[in-house]
Amino acid sequence: MKQTTQFSSISRRHALAMLSAAGAVVLAGVPAYADGAAVAAKIKGLTGGRSVGEGDIELDLPEIAENGNAVKVAFSINSPMTVDNYVKAVHVMADGNPTPDVASFNFTPAMGACSASTRMRLAKTQNIIVLAEMNDGSFKQAQATVKVTIGGCGG
């Protein structure tokens, strides 16, 4: 294509121009990111060290998020949601954001079903961990990876 030659030579002047332009862009400093350990510590705090089961949590997350500013996160948990047997709380965490917490939800039997959907910010490709707390004090969790791409002009 005709513009190839134009683009193949990024001169020093161009590079410097880009660099100065970059200076005008707002950066919030160099952020520290949470990691698996931060999430593990968080889970330990929530569960009090009790064992966490797997399964019965259905996650609805995009495999690839074109933009990390609003990524759908939805889950549903199979539960009768009766006074004797219901999901009390769900914690959504992310291991690659500046802090691991995303949101938590408190459910009641009046809802009849356990699910929720929201939109979250993801700083980069990372794992989303969903931890559910049952009314009997037991826990279960599920996780999935969301690949976050950063736009050329959009990002």
Applying CB under 8 A, which residues contact another protein? 1-4, 6-8, 10, 14-15, 17-19, 21-22, 25-28, 31, 62, 64-67, 69-72, 74, 81, 94, 97-99, 101-108, 110-122, 149-155
Question: Minimum distance from CB of 132 to another protein (Å)?
Answer: 14
Q: Which is nearer to another protein, 51 or 99 (CB)?
A: 99
Q: What is the DSSP letter of 111?
A: G
Q: Cβ closer to another protein: 54 or 63?
A: 63
Distance between CA atoms of residues 82 and 106, nearest Å = 15
- 6 φ/ψ angles, rounded to the nearest 5 degrees: -60, -45
Nearer to another protein, 126 or 141 (CB): 126
Least distance between another protein and beta carbon 44 (Å):
18
Tell me how far, at minimum, the Cβ of 15 lies from another protein, in Å: 7
Question: 78 and 56 in contact (C-beta within 8 Å)?
Answer: yes
What are the structure tokens assigned to 135, written together?
Answer: 């009314």
Largest CA distance in the chain: 71
Q: Compute φ and ψ for 79, nearest 5 degrees.
A: -155, 140
Q: What is the nearest approach in angstroms of another protein to the Cβ of residue 84? A: 16
Q: How far is CA 142 from CA 9, 15, 41, in A?
A: 48, 45, 16
Nearest CB to another protein, comparing residues 71 and 130? 71
